[in-house]
Amino acid sequence: MRDPEMRRWRTLVRERAEREWRELSLDVVDELATHLADLHAAQIRRGATDDEARRRALAVLDAASFLELSKRPRACRGVGYAHDVRIAIRQLAAAPIVTAVAVLSLALGIGANTAIFSLVNSLILRSLPVKEPQRLALVTDDAAIGNDSWTYPIWQELRSRGLFENAFAWDGQQFDLADGGVKELAEGIWTTAGLFDTLGVTPMLGRGFTDADDARGGGPDGPVAVISYAFWQRRFGGAANAIGQRLTVERVPFTIVGVLPPDFFGPDVGRRIDLAIPVGTEPLIRGAESRLDERASWWLAVMVRLKPDQSIDSGTAALRAAQPAIRKTTLPSGWSQKDLDEAYLKDRFLLVPAAAGASRLRSRYQRPLLTIMIVVAFVLLIACANVANLQLARATARRHEWSVRLALGASRWRLVRLMLSESFVLSIAGAGLGFLIARWASRLLLRQLSTQTDTVFLDLSIDWRVLAFTTVVSVATALLFGGVPAHRAAGVAPMEAIKEQGRGTAETGRLSTSSALVVVQVALSLLLVVAAALFLRTFRNLTHLDLGFDPDRVLVVTIDAQRAPIPSAQRIAVFERAREAVAAVPGVQSAALSYVTPVSGHMWRTRFEVSGAVPLPEAQRGAWRNHVSPEFFGTYGQRLVAGRGFTGLDRGGAPPVAVVNQAFARLFLDGGSPIGHTLRVPQRLGLPAGPRMEIVGVVADAVYRNLRETIGPTVYTPVGQQAADFPISEFNLNVRAGAGSPVHLARSIADAVGGVDRDLALTFRPLSDQVSASIARERIVAMLSGFFGGLALLLAGLGLYGVTAYAVARRRTEIGIRMALGADPAGVVRLVLSRVSLLVGLGVLAGSAVSAWASRFVSPLLYGLEPRDPATMLMAAVVLTAVGGLAGWLPAYRASRIDPAEVLRDS
């Protein structure tokens, strides 16, 4: 009964609207029909007959004017929010292009924010998926918070004192699962048996480790391992009989006793383990080079679970009370009491919260991610300003509609609700599409964080933080871009709009609001363009940096003799035979041995005593060190500046020699020639002084550890004079290809090394990839800031275009009259562009001031330029001005083509 009645009233209203009231939008017709139907029903409830009720409703419909109608008591109940949403959807569907632009703008802004927040959440905020993570803490000291490591004897002392509810120690390690030749690497950890109890993790299948499993050499079941769920699926296809099977790890067979739950990735955030093996089995793999009894080998991280009544402060106090006894008990052999006091006791034990796990990746990417988070927040603000301007532009065409609603009895709050409903519909649509964009973008960014030898893992699954963030951003976005149009709708005067019969009015206040929004857009865009330019120039500076060596066509082959039956004293000779075999491979230009390869992340730093050196503080007498074969400098293209390089005669029994770089000469000898001077490693911490080495050559400076670091003093010593007792199990073979990519030589190199010893394990990595991986952080920051800076330019250009086009449309009659009175098209273009220039100029000035203030916060991420670099500021201003000029010229050109006769005829 209700639906036919509504249809009748809707038909009546539409007919009267077409005949008397010109044009009403469909949703206004529906609302008026609803009012009249409710009035009809209310009269019947009061006792009127159907005919009487219909006549009274028709009397309302036939009122002399909407103004008189607006003075009548409201004849219907308020409509609900669902009705508002239906009207909002209908209004947005009536302007599909504007709606699509608004939704896409919001989707990009919300999606970008959600994608970056997902990474921030996974790396910084999210707790480990374990029992009561808030009670976990890392043992460190106040000299290197969060990055400390401990010896196995120190771990044993900590565990034996029972200071905490539970504790475990671990160390990340890449394990070789191959039987020989090229390595098959798996991510893993050495761990003590307390891992499972401390974290509260129960294996999905099988069991965890017991104290017996952690015994030296393995427990009653021999060496055992626990594998991850992903590794179980990948390696064993999820078969239940994987428990009890053998897995070869570093040529040692381990029995699989458990499978970890799917959501557990290990204690290190940013790294997902494939397997865990007990620390006690470490001697089976490292043999005589085991670290378990080494009091000077710091390699284990320690995590504890606090007691229920224990806080971080009380736990730290208990740890510090036991520190003197722990330190003295674990003092490295040969260290004196002075060494103990100066280098071993001064740094106090400290507990730091570990609910979010341990992570070296976090310390590296925390600042860049937070910086990009601010960048994408500004992008969203620009998108909101854009959508607000679109909404304001549409508002003019709807003033007549709003006045009709007010005349029909709608309250101003009702109009605000309608406008906010449209804003929320747009925001929800943008958030939905943005969420899909975020899921794809966050995974893409995660792949960019990974390198060839270091796969980054982050748990990007949706949790309450991501949902809450997206919800808050969506609501805030709707209020930001919907608030101003809603306020304008509430300020409409019914009489004004009725008199104009739907024509637009010149609303200087509204126009100034749009102009202010454009100025804000331009200012924020300039800020983002400046940031993007700084990060892009930083990346360019690093990629064009003179490394001091030639990374092209060089393949780094790491030779691991850990499991080969070769005595330690004979390993250097085996490595040299492998080098000779590889040098004879067709396509190999040269091959050289080195203990350290440039930009590898590995380093060896030593303090030196230099004859005739200038006085230097103790802390400044350090230098990088590397053992290399005579072919090293030629393979890397490192130029010899003075003296000579190494030869085959520089071997054991010959006088010890060294080659230094130019930075060494500048630091130790104030730029003088170091040739003929001698150097040695002084006695320190119980170790005897090294032999005196004569400096026989000087090479050009070359990057050692990373590209950002100022090239420091470096000492090169010949491999042939390496002490026989130096514990080297891995060495690098650097191979330069004669032409083409060196990767194509990998199989031939593997065969050549295998011909020397089949038990040598190999890994391959192009040096160019190693250099590229060292600036992965800068590449990601430059890529993201460049993309979002370009997006900000696009949004600002669209906003400026929209406001200018609207202004031209509003002044169409004025422009036509000007042209009829003799104004030329060029003058019209200047008239329009003068306003554009004003908006852009104000935005550039404001943005420049904010950029100059904010740039200091990104200075740690820059390289080779100042945060307030004038050239960057000028370039950003020029680019933004050009974009603004283009955005303003298009409507200005159309304005200059207006036909005065047509305008005057229509006015």
pLDDT, one tens digit per residue, over 202-235 is 999 999 999 999 998 888 889 999 999 999 999 9
What's the rounded mean pLDDT across residues 600-618?
A: 88
Residue 409: predicted pLDDT:
60
Q: Which of 427, 421, 414, 510 is nearest to 473 (CA)?
A: 427
Most confident of 58-62, 518-522, 531-535: 531-535
Confidence of residue 336 (pLDDT cuts 50, 70, 90): low
Q: Which of 446, 592, 480, 600 is nearest to 119 (CA)?
A: 446
CB environment 868-892: b (16+ within 10 A), e (fewer): ebeebbeebbebbbebbbebbbebb
Residue 47: predicted pLDDT:
67
Of all residues in the chain, what percent carry a pLDDT higher than 90? 48
Please say if the pLDDT value at position 433 is more than 70. Answer: yes
Residue 76: predicted pLDDT:
37
What's the rounded mean pLDDT across residues 859-867?
A: 89
Most confident of 28-32, 34-38, 158-162, 795-799: 158-162
**pTM, full prediction:** 0.81
Please say if the pLDDT value at position 360 is more than 80. Answer: yes
635 three-state secondary structure: helix
What's the rounded mean pLDDT across residues 368-386?
A: 91
Residue 375: predicted pLDDT:
92
- When mean pLDDT is compared across 66-70, 291-295, 542-546, 708-712, the lowest value belongs to 66-70
Residue 569: predicted pLDDT:
82
| Contact (CB, 8 A) for 810 and 898 | no
What's the rounded mean pLDDT across residues 637-658?
A: 92
pLDDT digits (tens, 9 = 90+) for 742-788: 999 999 999 999 999 988 999 999 999 999 988 988 999 999 999 99
Q: Which residue has the tokens 């006695």?
A: 683
Pull the structure tokens for residue 761: 């394990």
Please say if the pLDDT value at position 39 is more than 80. Answer: no
247 three-state secondary structure: strand
Please say if the pLDDT value at position 554 is more than 80. Answer: yes
Contact partners, residue 789, CB within 8 Å, separation at least 6: 525, 528, 529, 531, 532, 533
Residue 828: predicted pLDDT:
83
Please say if the pLDDT value at position 518 is more than 80. Answer: yes
Confidence of residue 313 (pLDDT cuts 50, 70, 90): very high
| Contact (CB, 8 A) for 247 and 257 | no
Distance of CA 478 to the CA centre of its chain: 26
- When mean pLDDT is compared across 48-52, 442-446, 605-609, the lowest value belongs to 48-52
SS3 for 400-439, per residue? HHHHHHHHCCCCHHHHHHHHHHHHHHHHHHHHHHHHHHHH
Confidence of residue 30 (pLDDT cuts 50, 70, 90): low
Q: Which of 652, 651, 649, 628 is nearest to 640 (CA)?
A: 628
| Contact (CB, 8 A) for 818 and 905 | no
Residue 69: predicted pLDDT:
39
Of all residues in the chain, what percent carry a pLDDT higher than 70? 83
